């Protein structure tokens, strides 16, 4: 097994530990005839692993009045 195959195997194993599906929403702006045309495009879904840095628990948010 060469280095590239080993690294791909490790990356696959790492993602499988905590898989998350994400979809990226892109807005493309193009010049048209006297105006700017916007197109919304969805890219994905991609399976990724999201790392929390500095904390083992998910961040909490506090809202006034909740």
First to last CA, the chain: 55
Higher pLDDT residue, 60 or 3?
A: 3
HSE-up of residue 58 (Cα within 13 Å, Cβ side): 3
Strand partners, 47: 21
- For residue 61, is pLDDT > 70? no
* pLDDT, average across residues 35-55: 82
- Report field, pTM of the whole predicted structure over 0.75: no
Q: What does the alpha-carbon distance between residue 53 and residue 50 come to, in Å, rounded to a whole number?
A: 10
Q: Tokens 């690294």 correspond to what residue?
A: 7
Rounded to the nearest 5 degrees, what angle is found at the Cα of 24, between the Cα atoms of 26 and 16? 165
pLDDT tens by residue, 12-27: 888 888 788 888 898 9
């Amino acid at each position: 097994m060469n280095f590239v195959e080993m690294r791909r195997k490790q990356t696959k194993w790492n993602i499988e530990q905590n898989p998350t599906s994400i979809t990226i929403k892109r807005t493309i702006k193009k010049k048209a005839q006297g105006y700017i045309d916007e197109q919304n495009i969805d890219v994905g879904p991609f399976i990724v692993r999201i790392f929390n840095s500095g904390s083992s628990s998910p961040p909490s948010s506090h809202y006034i009045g909740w």
